[in-house]
Structure 1
Amino acid sequence: MADNIPAGSTTEGAITVGHPADARVSAAPSYDVADFPVPHGREEEWRFTPLERLRGLHDGTAKANGGLRVDVTAPEGVTVETVDRTDARVGKAGKPADRVVAQAFSSFEKASVVSIPKDLVLTEPVRIAVHGEGGTAYGHQIIEIGAFAEAVVVIDHTGDATLAANVEYLIGDGAKLTVVSVQDWDDSAVHVAQHTALVGRDARFKSVIVTFGGDLVRLHPRVIYGAPGGDAELFGLYFTDEGQHQEHRLFIDHDTPHCRSNVTYKGALQGKDAHAIWIGDVLIRAAAEGTDTYELNRNLILTDGARVDSVPNLEIETGEIAGAGHASATGRFDDEQLFYLMSRGIPTIEARRLVVRGFFGELVQQIGLPDLEERLMAKIDAELEASV
């Protein structure tokens, strides 16, 4: 397989041939929660997740008894609807991949649908504010963008909730969709969700996932290509604090020729029992000739007591690809960087802030919305100040 890895790339983690990524899970994707066994924590896809902190989302005991407020602010030309599960768009992007999100699919009552018609180029973002008001809730959100349209969508999660949800992105041919999902929950929240993108012919999809808050956050971004020429970029930023569990499990299914994917996730951790998990699964199926893919995960440990599990997996069933690679690394502050800054009179706290800002800077810039970028950098500064 080495001949398929571009020169200079790092190939840490697993590279296998002919063993589909879905074979590592306990059940095939399904809309029906009954098709998934109740997890016990020994399964590959659940071994990092503290099941007792899911509050019954995984075993059917969590009943919908909470409040979840969803407010959508959209530019002119965008349609916002509330539909039931009989709508043809519900479930169109793909099936739930684990029991919790299948439970969410089986349990939601109404789905929110945001539609951007074909050829419409938005100059202002669509903003979706999801605010938890306590208790358990099940949600379903659909973003549909027509052919050759362009849009930026911001989904902002705040408040307190035990939430299981599915988010679907239906991306038309030649369309360009950027989605920024911010998890800025209260410290007590639990959030488990699957984000599934169905990318059309020559379409471009960019996902930016930012995770700060919550007691436990487990997100499962998935990309499926509906036709050749699709391009997906997945960026992620997470700051895991004392006692928090933040888990990002990506799966990119290259089953279509001449598509591209690029993944970059970065995390910083501080405090006792801060635990971050990043799983990056990329499957290049036999039919996906001409695929070009790369995934990267970097983690910065700020204090003792924090733990990271980073597992990139690249599985290839054809040698006729343009390129494939992956890399993962975890480390502490660069002592040379700190020494350089401190030797020029910069206090230790300020030096730490500058290093972390530099670490996250390129990802924050991917958002492209100055007000949100400033808010997130201020949040990073606040996290650092709290650790002093």
Structure 2
Amino acid sequence: MSATPAPTEPLVDAPVQHGAGAHTDGDWANRKVPVQTRSERFASTDPAAFPEVTGREVDWKLSPVPRLRPLIDGPLDGSPYAYLARETTGAAVEWVSPQHELVGRAGTPEDKASANAWSSVDNVLMVTVDGEEPSSITIGRSGLDKAPRAGHTVVHAKPNSRGLVILQNSGDATLVENVEIVVDEGAHLTVVTVQEWNDDAIHLASHFARIGRDAVLKHFVISLGGSIVRINPSAHLAEQGADGDLNGVYFADAGQHLEQQVYVNHDAPNTKSRVNYKGALQGEGARTVWIGDVLIGRTAPGTDSYEQNRNLVLSEGTRADSIPNLEIETGDILGAGHASATGRFDDEHLFYLESRGIPEEEARRIVVLGFLSEIVQRIGDPALQERLIETIEAELAGGAEARSVATGAVHPAYVDSQPGSGATPVHAAGGVQHPAEGGEAGANA
């Protein structure tokens, strides 16, 4: 006996428990996943390949994007500019075509401003170091005016060469540029970029370095002048035994924005890197940004790496962002670490100095110079080191004068020794002047 089927009824959706249904924004299978590894960032020489910069991107979110817009996506003057370079044995400077074989050897732009500069230049400035005896060359730029401009420089150290290249920047500028550094096998190269621009200058730069087998690169970023200065160095330790030593000193005054985004890519066995950046901030609205990314890849056993950033806050109303990042893809390393610190004067240090008869402003000067000069003195060019110390002292004198005006106090002249020694006053609030002798004591204290 067959059963008579029950009459069918329209199906009714069962009630869904709250939270168990699909969210309208939860289509993860078809959504873009954010870049998780520093080496996976998109790179291109074509600015049109980059999306519009909104200021929310990871590499732009700490930068004043509205003020940088003309350099990010505006038209740029890419014609050759005037520079000053003294002829030096073992080093040469010349303009070459953007199609030169070394252009693009060290890296590829990872942001739209860098790509805009890359595609806009008519010529590339080539600096070649080829002497096995140490040589030094300074390339000075001071007449770039205020029109948006693009630049591209390649520094090439040939095998087993020794050299120091100083890129000296001053005057007016609205500049975005790329600097490529190619260090061939066994070469030892030092590159120093000094930013002493006028107060309203804007400078964006991407530095790309490729370090070959058993080669050494010492890289220094010295940012003291300009309204907005953003220098982003990256070092690719591409072959066995490569050594990268990346350093920076910056001093931000009221309203200045000084930024560095550093990237070190260990991509070969037995490579070594050290990153050491130090900065000081004084004045309302002084802002610094430091981001340090270190990647130790699967192909880099035996890596030895360490990065650190220190910031010294000298007054109220400043802001220092410091973000170290370390990615390790292999367990076979000698060592890796990072550190970051931002703080005010150590009251104990000041008390110690003042208790020995040193005025407060002179004590501040000694502490700050001791803090920053540790990196400056490693450059290896005594004349440049002395001039940079003078510039830092002038910055400190300006801050001391501003504090004196704010408090109504009389600001005494700086001296290089304790009261009663008979030493000549050498650093008054109004400027910098050197005595006949003994002027190095404060800088080395």
TM exceeding 0.5? yes
Q: Does 1:21 align with 2:44?
A: no
Matched, 1:92 2:105: yes
Tell me how far apart the structure 1 counterparts of residues 79 and 364 of structure 2 sit (CA, whole Å): 40
Number of the residue aligned with 1:11:
none
Distance 1:31 1:55 in 2: 18
Q: Which of 68, 71, 75 is 1:54 aligned to?
A: 68
Q: Which residue of 2 aligns with 1:44?
A: 58
Residue 126 of structure 1 is matched in structure 2 by 137
Number of the residue aligned with 1:228? 240
Cα distance, 1:96–1:171 mapped onto 2, change above 3 Å = same
Number of residue-to-residue matches in the alignment:
365
Taking the aligned partners of 1:42 and 1:277, their CA distance within structure 2 comes to 16
Query: Structure 1 unaligned runs (5+)?
Result: 1-17
The share of aligned pairs that are identical, in percent, is: 45
Report if aligned partners of 1:67, 1:137 keep a CA contact under 8 Å in 2: no
- Structure 1 range deviating more: 294-303 or 339-348: 339-348
Distance across 2 between alignment mates of 1:179 and 1:272? 32
Q: For 2:186, which of 174, 179, 190 is the aligned residue?
A: 174
The equivalences for 1:294-373 within 5 A come to: 294-373=306-385
CA contact (8 A) 1:66 1:161 kept: no
Q: Deviations over 1:312-353 (max 9, x none)?
A: 000111111111000000000010111111111111111110
Partners of 1:217 and 1:120 lie apart in 2 by: 34
Which residue, 293, 303, 310 being the options, matches 1:281?
293
Match of 1:10 in 2: none
Deviation of residue 62 (structure 1)? 4.1
Amino acid at match of 1:364: V
Matches of 1:232 and 1:347 in 2, distance apart?
Answer: 41
Q: Is the 8 A contact 1:208 1:366 kept in 2?
A: no
Secondary structure at the residue paired with 1:279? Answer: strand
Q: Per-residue deviation at 1:225?
A: 2.2
Q: How does 1:230-245 map to 2 (within 5 A)?
A: 230-245=242-257
Match of 1:384 among 387, 396, 399: 396
Structure exhibiting the larger radius of gyration computed from Cα positions: 2
Aligned to 1:31: 45
Q: Distance in 2 between matches of 1:262 and 1:65?
A: 34
8 Å Cα contact 1:65/1:135 also seen in 2: no
- Shift of residue 67 of structure 1? 8.5
In structure 1, what is the Cα distance between the partners aligned to 2:80 and 2:172? 9
2:145·2:174 contact (CA, 8 Å) conserved in 1?
Answer: no
Deviates more, 1:314-323 or 1:66-75: 66-75
- Specify the alignment match of 1:203 in structure 2: 215
In the alignment, the residues of structure 2 paired with residue 33 and residue 275 of structure 1 have an alpha-carbon distance, to the nearest angstrom, of 28
CA distance in 1, matches of 2:359, 2:342: 25
TM-score of the superposed pair, with normalisation by structure 2: 0.80
1:375 and 2:394 are equivalent in the alignment: no
Which structure is higher in strand share? 1
SS in 2 for 1:374: helix
The higher relative CO (CA closer than 8 Å, separation ≥ 6) is in 1
- In the TM superposition, residue 79 of structure 1 has moved relative to its aligned partner by 2.6
Partner of 2:439: none
* Shift, 1:80, TM fit: 1.9
Listed one character per residue, the Cα deviations across residues 328-380 of structure 1 (whole Å, up to 9, x for unaligned) are: 00000010111111111111111110010110121011111111111111111
- Measured after TM superposition, the shift of residue 66 of structure 1 is 9.0
Confirm or deny that 1:164 pairs with 2:181: no
Aligned to 2:206: 194
Unpaired runs of 5+ in structure 2? 1-34, 401-445
Q: 1:82 is matched by which residue type in structure 2?
A: W
Q: How do 1:67-78 residues align onto structure 2 when only pairs under 5 Å count?
A: 68-78=81-91
Report the CA distance shift for 1:332/1:339 in structure 2 as closer, same or farther (over 3 A): same
C-alpha distance in structure 2 between counterparts of 1:268 and 1:382, whole Å? 13
